[in-house]
Amino acid sequence: MRQSLDAIFKPKSVAVIGASTRKGSIGRETLHNILLAEFNGKVFPVNPKASVIHSIKAYSTIRDVPDAVDLAIVIVPKDAVKGVVVQCGEKGVKGLVVISAGFSEVGTDGKQRELEVLRVVQEHGMRLIGPNCFGVVNTDPKVSLNATFGKTFPRRGRIGFITQSGAMGEAIMNIARELGLGFSIVASIGNKADISSNDMLEYFKDDPDTDIILMYLENFGNPRNFTVIAREVSRHKPIVAVKSGRTKLGAKAASSHTGALAGLDVGVDALFEQTGVMRVDTIEELFDVAMALSTQPVPRSNRVVVVTNAGGPGILATDALINNGMEMPPLSAPTITELRKFIPAEASFSNPLDMIAGAGGEEFKKTLDIVKNDDRYDSIVPIFVPPVTIDQLEVARNIHQALAEVEKTVLVCFMGAGLSSEGMDYLRENGIPVYIFPEAIAKTLATTYRHQMRVSRPRGKFKTFTVDSAKAQAIVDSALALGKEAIVGEEALAILAAYGIRTMPYTYAENVDVAVTAARKIGYPVVMKVNTPPVLHKTEVGGVMVDLRIDEDIRSAFETLHKRIIAAGEKGEFSVAMQQLISGGIETVMGMTTDPSFGPLIMFGLGGVYVEVMKDVAFRINPLTDRGAREIVRSLRSYPLLNGFRGAPPVNQDVLEETLLRLSQLVEEFSCFYEIDINPFIASPDEKLCAAVDARFIIRSS
Amino acid sequence: MRQSLDAIFKPKSVAVIGASTRKGSIGRETLHNILLAEFNGKVFPVNPKASVIHSIKAYSTIRDVPDAVDLAIVIVPKDAVKGVVVQCGEKGVKGLVVISAGFSEVGTDGKQRELEVLRVVQEHGMRLIGPNCFGVVNTDPKVSLNATFGKTFPRRGRIGFITQSGAMGEAIMNIARELGLGFSIVASIGNKADISSNDMLEYFKDDPDTDIILMYLENFGNPRNFTVIAREVSRHKPIVAVKSGRTKLGAKAASSHTGALAGLDVGVDALFEQTGVMRVDTIEELFDVAMALSTQPVPRSNRVVVVTNAGGPGILATDALINNGMEMPPLSAPTITELRKFIPAEASFSNPLDMIAGAGGEEFKKTLDIVKNDDRYDSIVPIFVPPVTIDQLEVARNIHQALAEVEKTVLVCFMGAGLSSEGMDYLRENGIPVYIFPEAIAKTLATTYRHQMRVSRPRGKFKTFTVDSAKAQAIVDSALALGKEAIVGEEALAILAAYGIRTMPYTYAENVDVAVTAARKIGYPVVMKVNTPPVLHKTEVGGVMVDLRIDEDIRSAFETLHKRIIAAGEKGEFSVAMQQLISGGIETVMGMTTDPSFGPLIMFGLGGVYVEVMKDVAFRINPLTDRGAREIVRSLRSYPLLNGFRGAPPVNQDVLEETLLRLSQLVEEFSCFYEIDINPFIASPDEKLCAAVDARFIIRSS
């Protein structure tokens, strides 16, 4: 049976296994931290050479420890780790935190060492944090464990913190301490040999002491698991993440539109968007959001009132709030009537409400007491710039008095009071977040509000269509058997058709007369493209002629294309492919690309210029839900074109969404596709005229 | 003769004119500040009721002061200000700082009071800062003037600071003090009755103690003057500005595309872009940039090397630098060879260069000594995350030692060392800017680098074309005489033609047979639009038919348009207008809209969807230079479409630029145009096919 993570985070007894090297003894700092934080259990130093460390009896090996040991902290040279872990297993230790470095982070040898350690851990049913980590912290007074080598024991609080980088972990704990932010548990997960960020998310989900989860991540071990777990956890507890490190798609990616468009970080953004994780861009924003979430409710609406004693910062706050999509409705008439009773007439009775410079604690209190009952607002932002004549602590006390009990989101700005002033300290100690700059408040409100909107949406459903996967399989098998790297043209469309995606049939012609007969059969107007010899970018050599209306057009187009192909130096027998021209349709592009971390991403955009020049495309991680399909369509900047621009009838969006879902199913069921382009897929008001016109699959044989 | 501003910023003698009110005496704080800062001259308190203030003999009126007075600080009730100013004038005072509030900021009465004061000031040739301001500061030890009512006397430094908001001024001075930033002169310009931000810019231009200018602005008094002055000053001294307060265009703006597209703040952005002012979004960025500029050179290129002891922050820095358009070339081979001599093999010899956690002062010193000579880089970013075992002050000393003399841009990150640690203090005191977060460094480098690129470009030239302005005037006069609010169709095109802008002639037809004859004469293919009755948005009612190729097309189009007009309920005689269809052309939109602060803005974008859905348009403040015209065209996201997309020939951009310059001249010479739309202007590879197809002028009679 595998141990629960409680063995690591709530141990009754801890062994600190250090070593003595030429450079001195290692592991002393961690032992010192454990003692300093007054760990609520037994601590056993283990060291082959020392008999006493920090005045405590030390044992040569873990085997010599007389009591049972829940958790062992391992800080020995990399080559000694495996032996120590074996001993721990034999001793019956339940959890391990391996701080030692020199494992998978240093290359192949290290990776091998790590796998060997992991095997031992698993054989004994132990759980492992690390290796190459900073340690773990539990601030619960019943535990009080600081098993790290840092110098900060964080304040008690309700934030669970997962960090992949030890250095970032320490930096973040230091800054958090200065900002008055408290943690429940900190886990530096290092190389994630056993316990991953996903495990930690699950642990925090059920941890009654954790309300908010912060993550610093550099990569995702298993994005698919992350999706499932984070989607579930984020409905109950907000997850805020900084993800650094960019996704570089391999060289192969550039072989298709979809691949080249899936730029840096598209996968991460899609993942967070789909799972309800709040992604912030910087560590600073991580703190800004964490401060708000740790004491304030998430804004119920985007309506904010700003109360200030200084015009300038009020204007800055307004700019930032509006730019971030928040709203600032004017004060209601009853509120203004109340305010006029004591605020001088020169004040500005709008939003922002500028009480002017003389306003002190009393004015803030009276004003906020009135404004907090104005149900136009769900967030209240008091801004105070301390003039010399006003006691800022008094202002802080009054703001707290007025707003302590209010069930709205309160974020305070003290601008120019100092980076940490007594007024700011007072508010923080009393559970009211306070910021130096109004822009940080605006961004924080917007981030948390948008998050709230996202997680409160009903969940999407996965759909499975009845398809002819055998037929698609047969086409793929045949292509693989021939050693092809791509499936194009008719065969590509046939795969789509097998999955119930509408396609526009092709008719081929190798001479002018056949072409004319075929065009009449298709019905004018038609489109003609070069079929053979195969040309990669047809439009660049002028290999496509559209809107051919009469027989003569066909004849002339056939000749023109033939000449162009010869002029372009293309060799081989010449033939053309013709399709019906759908008028009134809008060209869209659908596709799939494979992200090295996230696997298949589904892409959607408007055709041609929109995709290639304006880069107006959206990605989601596969598989799509019905809601995901709807969102990917609507998230485009160019969406208005699909939805009835300038009096045109809207295109049939149900068909677009269903097509994306069918594409998603195709991608799910065939792992051999590396990239797919459906370009164009014609969107039309008339369902029957919606169709894939051309497609290309890049396949890989593995 | 008007006094120079030296009377205000470098006075030899100062009178502080206060008053005693029921609430106590006012002006005491300012006097106290002057004494505390040890003003290098004589101070005379003036107060009608007190004979001694702060142990100094006070005079009843300025007339009683025995010596000459250069500068008077006026802090009396608003209604007493004018009388005091009259006395100052009679006394021969040269400069005034009126701190008292209650003037134009409170409405019509106040505005009147302000004008009266200004008249007195001008009559006596005095200069005035304020009213409604926070005061002025000069840190020059030869002056040492702190004539404010705040509590911060800033450090000595080389930043000139102009603030429109007193409260923001105080907040900014407080924060600057904590960050170690020093000022030369601070001017809180309040209502700007006399001395404006433009005057201050000119003063700072010639001030040998000022190298950098920071501005906090809420509006521009005279944007056109600002343009001229800021353009000149920014070539010599960097100007960094926070501009708050958004530009709301009047309701009338929505009557044209151009007007509706000129969103919030377009004018401000255009103004700063055109004048080489660095606009930052937040006060925080203002400090970030100011810290860098006050001790470091502006980056000569966008190539940066990051040297770190921690992987995580290195990755964050890389993300932020790349996202902000900077580059991080890999280390050169010789550099790597040198580094390998002392950096452990597990380190990452790339960029960011991660020396791994054990790295202390010595490693930073040795590494930076090598890297600083790698001429691939013009900026160096050392990042340090303090582990418990490393002395951060030692690291700071070594970074300083290595980089003190280097002629590259050095910005240091100490992450998690505390908001203000001894290591950070050491670096700041030694002229090396240090930041808590790597993202701030990335943004600062990018902002300053882009600024450098902008100001080092050759200046554009204004062009004047020979035009037939009399003809344009005649058309306008006739429209005004008829009480028209708009000039459209043929007349609108005629105005453009008078200014040498190519236009596409219209041919009109009131029946089918005339239409067919006309179409043959124009030459197929043609475009047909409804001419009368006048329809505002023709495309919405289907009032335009394109690509008509044969007589039968003309007949059918005429019928169709007629039916649609009847169906749309439009009344009046039916006629159509026809033009040649230019194939291979790209529709662009040019225009002008009037911004309430900045006056006419010239607009350019790609036609139809690009403008209306993608909002891909660019604005510049009129008049345009040839360089401005070139930039407005190239700044579009959709510019690649004009420049030969997918093998198409590029359109003739000289014609586009010249047309914009001719439009600019038209706008300069006619103040009666409120808005202009040229939509579409066809851009084509062939100069002869470039032409304005339709245009509309909104005119105002004033």
CATH code at B460-504+582-702? 3.30.470.20
Residue B268 backbone phi and psi in degrees, to 5: -60, -45
Which percentage of chain A shows pLDDT scores above 70? 94
Residue keyed to tokens 């008999």: A51
Ordered by start, the domain boundaries in chain A are 6-218, 307-456, 505-581, 586-699
Residues in A touching B612 (Cβ below 8 Å): 645-646
Tens of pLDDT, residue by residue over A144-162, are 999 998 778 889 999 999 9
Tell me the chain A residues in contact with residue B536 when contact means C-beta distances shorter than 8 Å.
none
Q: What residue of A is the nearest CA neighbor of B356? A: A167
Q: Work out the pLDDT band at A249, boundaries 50, 70, 90.
A: very low
> Which residue among B167, B246, B646 sits closest to A319, beta carbon to beta carbon?
B246
B629: left (phi over 0), alpha (psi -120 to 50) or beta: alpha
What's the whole-number mean pLDDT along residues A129-157?
Answer: 91
Q: What pLDDT sits at residue B249?
A: 31
Question: What is the spatial order of strands in the sheet that B278-279 belongs to?
Answer: B145-148, B135-138, B182-188, B155-163, B212-217, B239-243, B278-279
- Span A603-657, pLDDT tens digits: 999 987 777 777 788 888 888 999 999 999 998 988 988 998 877 889 999 999 9
Q: Which of residues 10 through 69 in chain A touch B, CB cutoff 8 A? A: 29
Q: Exposed (0-12), middle (13-18) or buried (19+): which is A675, by Cβ within 10 Å?
A: buried
A246 to B641: CB separation less than 8 angstroms, yes or no: no
Residues A349, A332: Cα–Cα separation, whole Å = 10
B 311-330 near A (Cβ less than 8 A): 311-313, 315-316, 318-320, 322
Break chain A down into helix, strand, coil percent, rounded to 5: 40, 25, 35
A525 touches chain B (CB under 8 A): no
Asked if the model's pLDDT at residue B452 lies above 90, the reply is no
Inter-residue contact B436 to B413 (CB < 8 Å): yes
Asked if A311 and B167 come within 8 Å (Cβ–Cβ), the reply is yes
Rounded to whole angstroms, the Cα distance separating A107 from A541 reads 47
For residues B465-493, give the mean pLDDT: 93
**What is the CATH architecture assignment of B6-218?**
3-Layer(aba) Sandwich (3.40)
Looking at chain B, which residue has its C-alpha nearest residue A245? Answer: B315
Range of weakest confidence among A328-337, B265-274, B426-435: B265-274
Residue A645 CB neighbour total at 10 angstroms: 18
Q: Comparing B194-203, B285-294, B528-537, which segment has the lowest mean pLDDT?
A: B528-537
pLDDT at A256 over 50: no
Read off the pLDDT of each residue in A564-585 and give the average, rounded to a whole number: 85
**The domain made up of B296-455 is a member of CATH 3.20.20.10:** no
Q: Which of A529, A526, A530 is nearest to A548 (CA)?
A: A526
For residue B537, the model assigns a pLDDT of 63
Sign of CA dihedral B190, B195, B198, B201: negative
Q: How confident is the model at residue A170 (pLDDT cuts 50, 70, 90)?
A: confident
Is residue A60 within 8 A of residue A86, CB to CB? The reply is: no
CB B653 within 8 A of CB B642: yes
Query: Which of B104, B164, B165, B268 should be substituted to probe chain A, the one whose Cβ sees the most A Cβ atoms within 10 Å?
Result: B165
Fold of A586-699: D-amino Acid Aminotransferase; Chain A, domain 1 (3.30.470)
Question: Contact B168/A645, CB-based, under 8 Å?
Answer: no
Task: Answer yes or no: are the C-beta atoms of B500 and B669 closer than 8 Å.
Answer: no
Q: Where are the beta strands (DSSP E) in B363-476?
A: 379-384, 409-410, 412-414, 434-435
Residue A320: pLDDT above 90? no
pLDDT at site B122: 96
Q: Which residues contact A504 (CB under 8 A, 6 or more apart)?
A: A493, A579, A580, A582, A682, A691, A692, A693
Q: Does pLDDT of A259 surpass 70?
A: no
Contact A646 B29 (CB under 8 A): no
User: B382 in contact with A at a CB cutoff of 8 Å?
Assistant: no
A216 part of contact set with chain B, CB < 8 Å: yes
Average pLDDT over residues A290-308: 93
Contact A166 B357 (CB under 8 A): yes
State how far residue B92 is from chain A, nearest Cα, in angstroms. 32
List all residues 6 or more positions away from A126 whose beta carbon is below 8 Å from its beta carbon: A2, A3, A7, A85, A88, A89, A93, A94, A95, A96
User: For residue B50, what pLDDT is reported?
Assistant: 81
The two beta strands, B348-349 and A52-53, are unpaired
**pLDDT band at A518; cut points 50, 70, 90:** very high
Inform me whether the C-beta atom of residue A178 falls under 8 Å from chain B C-beta atoms. yes
Q: Which residue has the higher pLDDT, A453 or B413?
A: B413
One-letter amino acid identity for A56?
Answer: I
Is some CB atom of chain A closer than 8 A to the CB atom of B357?
yes
Sign for the pseudo-dihedral over CA of B401, B405, B407, B410: positive
Residue range B392-420: mean pLDDT, rounded: 89
Cis peptide leading into residue B352 (ω within 30°): yes
pLDDT at A407: 93
Q: How much is the pLDDT for A391? A: 84
- CB-CB neighbors (< 8 A) of B246 in chain A: 318-319, 322
Residue A263 pLDDT grade (very low, low, confident, very high; cuts 50, 70, 90): very low
Give the number of A-B residue pairs with CB atoms closer than 8 Å. 197
Q: pLDDT higher for B266 or A273? A: A273
What confidence score (pLDDT) does residue B260 get?
46
CB contact under 8 A, A312 and B541: no
Kindly determine whether residue B416 and residue A609, on different chains, have CB atoms separated by under 8 Å: no
The pLDDT of residue B272: 82
Report percent pLDDT > 90 for chain A: 53
The band of B490, judged by pLDDT with boundaries at 50, 70 and 90, is confident
**Run of H or E residues at A90:** helix A78-91
Classify the phi-psi angles of B158: left when phi > 0, otherwise alpha if psi is within -120 to 50, otherwise beta. alpha
Choose the most confident range, by mean pLDDT, from A180-184, A473-477, B434-438, B621-625: A473-477
Nearest chain B Cα distance for residue A274, angstroms:
22
More confident of the two residues A51 and A76: A76
A641 vs B171, B174, B613: nearest CB: B613
Mean pLDDT rounded to a whole number for chain B: 88
B653 touches chain A (CB under 8 A): no
In the predicted model, is pLDDT for residue B665 greater than 90?
Answer: yes
CA-nearest residue of chain B to A310?
B167
Query: What pLDDT, on a 0 to 100 scale, did the predictor assign at position B263?
Result: 47
Whole-number Å distance between alpha carbons of B296 and B409: 6
Q: CA–CA separation, B159 vs B88, rounded Å? A: 31
Instruction: State pLDDT tens for residues B77-120.
Output: 999 999 999 999 999 999 999 999 889 877 788 899 999 999 99
* pLDDT per residue as tens digits for the range B3-41: 789 999 999 999 999 987 766 677 888 898 898 889 999
Q: Do B284 and A437 touch (CB under 8 A)?
A: yes
Beta-carbon separation of B613 and A171 below 8 A: no
Q: What's the whole-number mean pLDDT along residues B114-131?
A: 96
Minimum mean pLDDT among A13-22, A499-508, B460-469: which range? A13-22
Shortest CB distance from A388 goes to which of B150, B178, B541? B150
Residue B117 structure tokens = 């004061």
Q: Which tokens sit at B591?
A: 């225009």
| Residues of A whose CB is below 8 A from B172 | 416
For chain A, say whether B641 makes contact (Cβ under 8 Å): yes
Residue A133 has pLDDT above 50, yes or no: yes
Say whether pLDDT at B195 is over 70.
yes
* CA–CA min distance A288, chain B (Å): 13
d(CA B444, CA A488): 48
Least confident segment among A326-330, B217-221, B229-233, B587-591: B217-221
Average pLDDT rounded to a whole number, residues B219-224 = 74
Q: What is the CATH number of domain A307-456?
A: 3.40.50.261
Res. B539 pLDDT band, cuts 50 70 90: low
Nearest to B146 by CA among B167, B170, B180, B118: B170
Q: Does domain B506-580 have CATH number 3.30.1490.20?
A: yes
Number of H helices, E strands in chain B: 24, 34
Return the residue in A316, A390, A549 with the most chain B beta carbons within 10 A, the one to mutate for interface testing: A316
Please give the CATH topology (third level) of the domain spanning A505-581.
Dna Ligase; domain 1 (3.30.1490)
Which pair of tokens denotes residue A270? 């899609």
Same CATH fold, B296-455 and B6-218? yes
Q: Which DSSP letter does residue B421 get?
A: -
Interface of B with A in 459-518 (CB under 8 A): none
Q: pLDDT (tens digit, 9 = 90+) per residue, B554-572? A: 999 999 999 988 888 888 8
Instruction: Answer whether A391 touches B (CB < 8 Å).
Output: no
Chain A residues near residue B417 by CB distance under 8 angstroms: 174
**Contact assignment for B638 to A319 by CB distance below 8 Å:** no
